[in-house]
Amino acid sequence: MTLWIALIATSVGCYLLKYAGLAAPRRLLDNPWLRRFAVAVPIALLAALIAVEALRGDGPALAWDTARMAGVGAAVLALILRAPFLVVIIVAAATTAALRALGVG
């Protein structure tokens, strides 16, 4: 139940953030400080999410999983080769699964 409340509240919040942009005065975009910060936030958050998810352990400690890290590496390679989004994801999962099947990590 707590989880449902969190899901609903966050969904409502995300909608309001979208609506605020469409309805707000455009002047806000003219503030360079606000714009620079707002554009940079997702870069920092996404990078943090990549790192934390890639090195996630069972508990609070970080853990190195060779098969998983190889999957992430394969995703980077796919992105460098300009593969479509879904291909990048499949390549990552397939690489990790294949290495685990071979007994790695």
Interface mask toward another protein for 12-51; x: CB under 8 A: -xxx-xxxxxxxx-x-xxx-xx-xxxxxxxxxxxxxxxxx
**Cβ count within 10 A of residue 34:** 11
The one-letter amino acid code at 64 reads W
> Could you tell me how far CA 70 lies from the centroid of its own chain?
17
Closest CA to 104 of 82, 71, 78: 71
Task: State in angstroms the smallest separation of the CB of 51 from another protein.
Answer: 4
Which residues in the 44-103 window bind another protein by CB under 8 A?
44-56, 60-62, 65, 67-68, 71-72, 75-76, 79, 82-86, 88-89, 91-98, 100-101
